[in-house]
Chains A and B, each alone.
Chain A
Amino acid sequence: AQSVTQLDSQVPVFEEAPVELRCNYSSSVSVYLFWYVQYPNQGLQLLLKYLSGSTLVKGINGFEAEFNKSQTSFHLRKPSVHISDTAEYFCAVRKGGSEKLVFGKGTKLTVNP
């Protein structure tokens, strides 16, 4: 079965600093990878996804992620964060041929002034 590990449960950073949220997944023949963001008391919203092609994926709100097959990682990055980026971020994996998403435990990003 697929699994996703988000190594950091909480990440505090200062405004305008860069941030990286780490995600590793269990290996499979073909996988699709996603990052979702959840603001307080809201549902999940897709930030970006990797299906195929370029390993560097750009998403909304200035976020990007890089798919690294050899390290089975899909880390999320932003060069300069804002207060409004404070939220919980979830990495998810979907095995090719399946519609099921498996989510990591989430990383709470707190951006401080």
Chain B
Amino acid sequence: DAGVIQSPRHEVTEMGQEVTLRCKPISGHDYLFWYRQTMMRGLELLIYFNNNVPIDDSGMPEDRFSAKMPNASFSTLKIQPSEPRDSAVYFCASSSPLGTGKNEQFFGPGTRLTVL
């Protein structure tokens, strides 16, 4: 398996623009997580899905952020409009409660977002 795939790896945009981050979880995993990592706040859980349904979005900072999971192999995190304080590395992770890697979250390589 290729692991969790995220795109793009780097994104530079200007304040006010819409940004869409993409994630493909590991095949067969039924949980998907979006995290944000910054120097100030560390690693924060934004939202997670189970079987494509959002379970907990209490970490989503504000209405400018939205996440969707239209099917088991794809999720997006959208920021509209973007602001400089959204600059961070965004990670996607997936997991399954079954199998040899159960209870382990597998992380993607991250998307480094810079908002100018």
Residues in chain A within 8 A of chain B (CB atoms): 32, 34, 36, 42-46, 49, 51, 90, 94, 99-106
Give, as a whole number of angstroms, the nearest-CB distance from B3 to chain A. Answer: 9
User: Which 8 residue pairs across A and B have the least CB separation, nearest first?
Assistant: A43-B107, A103-B43, A44-B107, A105-B42, A43-B109, A46-B104, A43-B108, A43-B110
Interface of A is mostly: strand
Residues in chain B within 8 A of chain A (CB atoms): 4, 31, 33, 42-43, 45, 48, 50, 55-56, 91, 93, 95, 97, 103-110
Starting from the known contacts A32-B103, A46-B106, 20 additional A-B residue pairs (CB-CB under 8 Å) come to: A42-B109, A43-B4, A43-B91, A43-B107, A43-B108, A43-B110, A44-B43, A44-B91, A46-B105, A49-B103, A51-B103, A90-B43, A94-B103, A99-B95, A99-B97, A100-B48, A100-B56, A103-B42, A105-B42, A106-B43
Output the nearest chain B residue to A100 by Cβ-Cβ distance. B45
Output the nearest chain B residue to A43 by Cβ-Cβ distance. B107
Residues of chain A within 8 A of B33, CB atoms compared:
101
Which of A43, A45, A49, A105: most chain B CB closer than 10 A? Answer: A43
Residues of chain A within 8 A of B104, CB atoms compared:
34, 46, 49
Q: A106 vs B44: C-alpha distance in the bound complex, in angstroms?
A: 12
Give, as a whole number of angstroms, the nearest-CB distance from A109 to chain B. Answer: 16
Give, as a whole number of angstroms, the nearest-CB distance from B104 to chain A. Answer: 5
Q: A93 vs B42: C-alpha distance in the bound complex, in angstroms?
A: 15
